[in-house]
Structure 1
Amino acid sequence: MVQVTFTLNEVLATIALFAWVLFVSLFLTRKIYEKMVAKGVEHHVAVYYNRKIIHILAGGLVAILVPYVLNNLLLVTVLVAVLAVGNYIPHKRGKLYHWYQVEENMFEVHFIIMWGLIMGLGFLLGDLRIGILPILFMSIGDGVTGLVRNVLYRRRTKSWWGNLAMALFCVPTGFMTLGTAGAVSGAIASVVEKFEFGKVDDNITVPLVSFLTIQGMLYLL
């Protein structure tokens, strides 16, 4: 049963998580961008690094903290809605946060929405591990993938080297969290990340396929 009431501590925790995400996305990564560009790093390379840093420090870390500080889906929903709208508006107005947003796509908005959807399913099913694990694949797993690719190719591209790095995180993390079901899900997520289908990017496919795989494996096992 989903809890609809919340405590003052949960409200404060939600505010703290929100503040952390703002710090990472609006301050920390902006400073990182400025330092990288000042050292001669190309704009698009610095932006891609920042997107993956946000994946890990905002998406991944917050997902890990949620079960320790929140028992309320409503607060999570509000947090996600505010962040999604806050990242959509710059695209709508044509005034991007240039240090991590790009004109070509709104994949960071996809990331936030899927984060909220999968986390919400974890709440509704009564087992946050089922929600958090796909989010970790999407945030930290894909973040590691992107960092490896950026080091190797200095641009946004798909490479099996990145997927191998992702698997080295996702498979053991999945096993430690949900046993065989988690490990299989991590392996599949690491392959699925390689492919995009138009505007359906890996921020949609990775958590969705991971979640469905976990559900199927838990049913079979």
Structure 2
Amino acid sequence: MLAVHEAIAGGVMALYTLIFVNSLSVLHMRMLEKGIPENLAVYINRKIIHAFTAGIVTLITPLMFNTPFVPLALSLVLAGILAIVRRKGGMKWFQTSDDANEITFPIAWGLSMTIVWMFTHDMYQAILPALYISFGDAVTGFARAVVIKRREKHWIGNLAMAAVTIPLGVAILGPMGALVGIAAAIAERIDKPIDDNIAVATVATVSILVLCAALCQH
């Protein structure tokens, strides 16, 4: 049975996400006024969303939920809403016509969390892939935006991501968690045929399950 506090927490998280995402239309306009290219402005907004919506929600999740099923449901609803909005023209400040990664992101976020939890029953271990595609991917994008000033894969982004994913892996899984962080940072280089959200979440999920099967005490 769904606990009242989980229902309330889910509603607050959903409302926060919708308000924050919509507020970025103003930042998008300001970036364009400053001469930042359209595609780079959209890219920066996406990374801000990764860190300050998905990232914050991910950190709160183990404190608010005993299982990942409410977050999973919310993530799938969000993916559905974004797909509908895209079909109707899209939110131009973070959606683009050349990819639908903003839709695959919440799906990867929710499914990875649920799969890890089903094997470990540990909500902190369960959120690790979600942290990687939230904070890790955000830092990757910011590094590329600053260094190469365009939306394109670059090794500097993977180094920046490793600086986030390795400490997170160690904090949650212990020293061997560094291997999960390294694997996730490498997986971020994958862009085709699947997008990097799916690649990172999948590699991190499989790595955690393999590591826990070998080392974790239940």
Q: TM-score, normalised by structure 2?
A: 0.93
> Which consecutive unaligned segments of at least 5 residues does structure 2 have?
none
Identity of aligned residues (%): 34
1:160 corresponds in structure 2 to 155
Change (3 A) 1:72 1:190: closer
Moved more, 116-125 or 151-160: 116-125
CA distance in 1 between counterparts of 2:68 and 2:169 reads: 23
Contact 1:174-1:185 within 8 A present in 2 as well? yes
CA distance in 2 between counterparts of 1:77 and 1:217 reads: 23
Contact 2:115-2:205 within 8 A present in 1 as well? no
CA distance in 1 between counterparts of 2:207 and 2:71 reads: 24
Contact 2:32-2:38 within 8 A present in 1 as well? yes
What's the CA shift string for 1:151-210, capped at 9, x where partnerless? 122221111111101111111111011113321000111111112222x01100101101
CA distance in 2 between counterparts of 1:173 and 1:32 reads: 29
2:81 alignment partner, one of 64, 86, 94:
86
SS of 1:156's equivalent in the other structure is coil
Contact 1:84-1:113 within 8 A present in 2 as well? yes
SS of 1:44's equivalent in the other structure is helix
CA distance in 2 between counterparts of 1:155 and 1:75 reads: 36
2:179 alignment partner, one of 161, 180, 184:
184
CA distance in 1 between counterparts of 2:5 and 2:127 reads: 21
1:139 alignment partner, one of 126, 134, 138:
134
1:64 corresponds in structure 2 to 59
Which of structure 1's runs of 4+ aligned residues deviate more than 3 A?
none
CA distance in 2 between counterparts of 1:122 and 1:58 reads: 21
1:20 alignment partner, one of 16, 22, 27:
16
Cα deviation, residue 72, structure 1: 4.4
What's the CA shift string for 1:126-163, capped at 9, x where partnerless? 11223211111111101100111011222211111111
What's the CA shift string for 1:32-53, capped at 9, x where partnerless? 1111112221111110000001
CA distance in 1 between counterparts of 2:101 and 2:148 reads: 20
CA distance in 1 between counterparts of 2:139 and 2:178 reads: 17
CA distance in 1 between counterparts of 2:101 and 2:73 reads: 20
Cα deviation, residue 121, structure 1: 1.8
Moved more, 184-193 or 35-44: 35-44
Contact 1:181-1:214 within 8 A present in 2 as well? no
CA distance in 2 between counterparts of 1:203 and 1:168 reads: 18
Q: What RMSD, in angstroms, separates the aligned Cα atoms of the two structures? A: 1.4
- Structure 1 residue identity aligned to 2:60: L
SS of 2:174's equivalent in the other structure is helix
Cα deviation, residue 220, structure 1: 2.5
SS of 1:180's equivalent in the other structure is coil
> Which consecutive unaligned segments of at least 5 residues does structure 1 have?
none
